[in-house]
Amino acid sequence: MAEGQQQRYRVIDRLAAGGMAEVYRAESAGLEGFKKKVAIKRVLPHLSEKKRFIKMFLDEARLGAYLSHSNCVQVFDIGVGDNTYFIVMEYVDGADLKAVIEWVRKQGRSFPTAYAVYITMKICEGLAYAHDLTDENGRPLGIVHRDLSPPNVLITKFGEVKIVDFGLAKASIQLEKSEPGIIKGKFSYLSPEAAMGKDVDLRTDIFAAGIILWEMLAGRKLFQGESDFETVKQVQRAEVPPISRINPTVDTSLEAIINRSLARDPATRYATARDFCKALTQWLFATNNSVTPFEIAELVQNVTRERQRAMASKAEAIDIGSLIQQTLFEFTSVQQSEQSSPNATNKPLTAGKGATISTTDWGAELDSDLGLHIPKPTPSAAIDGGVLARQLEGDLPSASPISAAKSSSQVEQPSQPLAAQPSSPPASLVATKPKGASPALLGGVVVLLALLGMAGAYVAGWIK
């Protein structure tokens, strides 16, 4: 990003990535410590040279700047930096509708009918606003989303439903017109006219909203072939199985509403998203179904909690691997420092792929590098891997995890009690050096047992 924009936006992490752009969570910095979370959609660098694509991307940003509605994600800023373009958008803290549908399915439950109707109503409210939008002179912008699908419907943890990504929108003010006959949008959510390469209008969005409602209630895809070509052919035919046979909670009046939104002929569909929304609202009132954002919020929060648990488990697994890798790196650094020393005479011991560990005065090196007091190996040295791991974290005194044993089958007890040692410690990993074993071999055993001890202590919860 440019120097001014670097000061204004601080990237926190990456949320998603696709073939054309990637989205980051960031903070917008203002005066007197003011901060606001935002989402930054950034064009992938290799596409920045494609003028056609950049024009379409900027058209999306311009259209987004016009949108200011509770059911549409708002665009705040457009920028260019590091030879690429980016859009700063409203950050939606929650989950997309696709994740919500998948979570309900994994629970072995059906999507509550009233919830599905309510979410579709909110989608229609956002569509109706965009479809009716005019410029500052009152001229209709003619916005059509054309890419409406569950991933493009975001729901906040407070139950707010928002449409995002008008990247394929078609409006009269676009600099780059969509060419007739080119199919754009996700195949499973195309309208029949779009699948046949015909011109589309706002009724193509109504068809997509009808697909989303049907899929929430059916618990499966409506149009899903074995290939993209087969999926497009299914959309062209627009054969919709009766939803009441799949989901008995759907009554005949709701089924009639859904079927009208999914009519193959655009002329027989709802003329506007507003009309579709009114029909769904009337069904809710007629059936005494009361749905509020609070019920939707609870559903979304279940999804986000599961996602956080999955991320925590993944991070824990990565941390264990990183711990071992970091320790290997530290021992390799010891070897590298010894190789550069003119007094290093022992042949290094190979450990791991491409790494070497010298056994020259390894106890002294560990003592200086890791802050441990480790005596030099003797013919009968015994190593307690668990205690060594805890000593690495500073939980134990440095005087007693490794001591000289009286014989190969015994371990001498420390002269003083270990106050930090647990009352029921795990079984120790003990290795003794056979008679005549080389110092290099013993050094390798020490390193291996130290690594195993650290991993074991991490699993046991001693290393945080």
Contacts of 344 (CB under 8 A, 6+ apart): 338, 358, 360
Residue 408 in contact with residue 434, Cβ under 8 Å?
yes
Tokens of 106: 């994994």
Contact 200, 146 (CB under 8 A): yes
What is the C-alpha separation between 411 and 428, in angstroms, rounded?
11
Would you call 395 a catalytic residue per the annotation? no
- What tokens were used for 407? 């014989």
Return the amino acid letter for 143. Answer: I
Q: Which two tokens stand for residue 107?
A: 């629970």
Q: Residue 94 has what DSSP assignment?
A: E
- For helices 293-339 and 113-131, what crossing angle results, to 10°? 90
Spatial distance between the Cα atoms of 222 and 234, rounded to a whole number of angstroms: 9
Go through 221-244 and write b for each residue having 16 or more CB atoms within 10 A of its CB, e for each that does not: ebbeeeeeeebbebbbebebeebe
End-to-end CA distance of the chain: 37
Report residue 178 as tokens: 């969509």
**In the numeric block, which tokens belong to residue 110?**
């059906």
Tell me the CB-side half-sphere exposure of residue 234, using CA atoms within 13 A.
Answer: 17
Provide the greatest CA pair distance for the chain. Answer: 96
DSSP SS3 for 55 = helix
Contact 10, 26 (CB under 8 A): yes
Phi, psi of 2 (to 5 degrees): -65, 165
What is the C-alpha to C-alpha distance for residues 305 and 93, in angstroms, rounded to an integer? Answer: 12
Q: Which residues, other chains included, contact 322 with Cβ-Cβ below 8 Å and sequence gap of 6+?
A: none
Contact 380, 406 (CB under 8 A): yes
Catalytic residue among 59, 96, 147, 384: 147
Active-site residue list:
147
